[in-house]
Amino acid sequence: MTLLEQSMQNMIEVFHSYVEKDGDGKTLSKKQLKKLLETELPEFLKAQKNPNIVDNIMKDLDQNKDDKLNFEEFVPFVAGLVMACEKCFQKKDKK
């Protein structure tokens, strides 16, 4: 498996490792999203100043308004973060 394939599989497995503790086995509740962010993206979460950040992320991503996040609703969040990170990466390179 290549590095890109492995990275893609990791994204799927990380999401599912938080989902599996739930009943439906496919979606994250807000509580599970919070746990995922605290554990897997601690630096991102620490940098946020808004105390309602998890609520806001949930609201932004929950396209079908069922108060749960499926994988397709979660991926755009990671995609957005990766794009933001890449910009930081380029800025650092210029220094």
State the greatest distance between any 2 C-alpha atoms of the chain, in Å, as a whole number: 48
Shortest reach from residue 26's CB to its own copies, in Å: 7
Residues at the contact surface with its own copies, assessed by CB under 8 A: 2-16, 26, 39-43, 71-72, 75-76, 78-79, 81-83, 85-86, 89-90
Query: Whose structure tokens read 């995609």?
Result: 79
Segment (H or E) for 42: helix 42-47
At 28, give phi and psi (nearest 5°): -100, 130
CA 45 to chain centre: 11
Shortest reach from residue 74's CB to its own copies, in Å: 10
Of the pair 65, 83, the CB lying nearest its own copies is at 83
Shortest reach from residue 53's CB to its own copies, in Å: 17
Distance in angstroms (rounded) separating the CA atoms of residues 42 and 47: 9
Shortest reach from residue 52's CB to its own copies, in Å: 22
Of the pair 15, 34, the CB lying nearest its own copies is at 15
